[in-house]
Amino acid sequence: MSGSGGVQAPREDAAARLRLTPLSEGMATWRSLLAGCPEVTLYHRERWIELLGRAHRLGMWLATLERDGRVAAGGVFARSPNPFVKRFVALPFSDSAPPLARSADDARELAAALIEQGDGAAYEIRGLDCGEKWERVGCFVSWRLQLWRPLQALERGLGINFRRNLRRAGAVRVEHGAGADYLRRFYALQLDSRRHFGVPPQPWRFFELVHGLFAPANLDIWLAKEAGKDVAAAVFVRDGDAIYFKWGARRANCRSNANHRLLWSAVEEFAPHARVLELGRSDVRNQGLMQFKRGLGATATALPYSFFPMAPRQVSPEVLGGAHRLLAMVWRRLPIFATRMLGRVAYRFLA
């Protein structure tokens, strides 16, 4: 995906062709796809794509498969900021952003057309099994809690351990809002939480952009306090009748039941006003997170990731190995101010 303007790739089927354009030039086409596909999620929306582009200075491209003068499938790809790597992702920092298409076959045909170009680029598509010639990674699942049910039914769906932690969280107090003060309090916990897990934090500018693009109507920041101190936080983004649990944080030395109280309080608030709570992806090897989401009553579905020509050695930040594990050990020893400064530079290269 280089050069300017549209690039056409011939196919054996002359009725179908691949067109690649900068997203700024193809936005009208993308909006048409958004309007016509029921599978649209938060990660396909213009505001989300704008957030990624502005926060991480990523170039965005639109790939479309055209047949008989109509767009059969289309997807947005971000180019890696690494100038030494020609790699395109749909989409980085997003759980799932597969092409929008009239059918699953059209989406896979678009994926096949991308690699048939022979342009030497590497590709990653999140949320689609692209079929032959692509390497599929199946370690992720996506969690969803159906909120359309009566609150009593949601409560009956809680796991035994989840209920026990709710009872133990009697001293935890929860509040929420969309103001900048809530965002700052969340970010302080985020810095501590990310250092605990040994990974760089998102830059503060990223969350400033989140606030500017989604607050107040589509952003809700929840905070749990114990003994007068913030101990856990969660940031939710609304997309129509779906609520996305996008970012969470917990003070490293606090009890985990603050998270149980916080999430259940959010469910009680959202249930009458939304259809579904999207709890995001989990690595199936992360048993603690899997148990937590299952205990909330959520259900998991397979979330395939497809790579061409091959998957990177480190796919999941939840399960680190080799050099990444050593780097995480070093990161945990850094002071908070250092992780914040380094994260400002390093985070975008995790795309």
Type of residue numbered 296: L
pLDDT for 8 equals: 44
102 and 15 in contact (C-beta within 8 Å)?
Answer: no
Confidence class of residue 4 from pLDDT cuts 50, 70 and 90? very low
302 and 137 in contact (C-beta within 8 Å)?
Answer: no
Residue from 58, 59, 63 nearest 20 by CA: 63
Per-residue model confidence as pLDDT tens digits over 270-294: 998 999 999 999 999 999 999 999 9
- Domain segments of the chain as ranges: 7-133, 141-303+337-346
Q: pTM of the full predicted structure?
A: 0.91
pLDDT for 349 equals: 67
Per-residue model confidence as pLDDT tens digits over 130-167: 999 999 999 999 999 999 999 999 999 999 999 999 99
Residue given tokens 């050593």 in the structure block: 326
Residue from 171, 201, 169, 141 nearest 335 by CA: 201
Confidence class of residue 1 from pLDDT cuts 50, 70 and 90? low
CA end-to-end distance (rounded Å), the chain? 17
Per-residue model confidence as pLDDT tens digits over 51-60: 999 999 999 9
pLDDT for 11 equals: 42
Residue 103 has pLDDT above 90, yes or no: no
Which residues pair with residue 221 across a beta bridge?
177, 235
Residue 2 has pLDDT above 60, yes or no: no
Confidence class of residue 181 from pLDDT cuts 50, 70 and 90? very high
Which CATH superfamily does the domain covering 7-133 fall into? Gcn5-related N-acetyltransferase (GNAT) (3.40.630.30)
7-133 with 141-303+337-346: one CATH topology?
A: yes
Residue from 97, 123, 58 nearest 307 by CA: 123
Domain 141-303+337-346 has CATH 3.90.1150.10: no
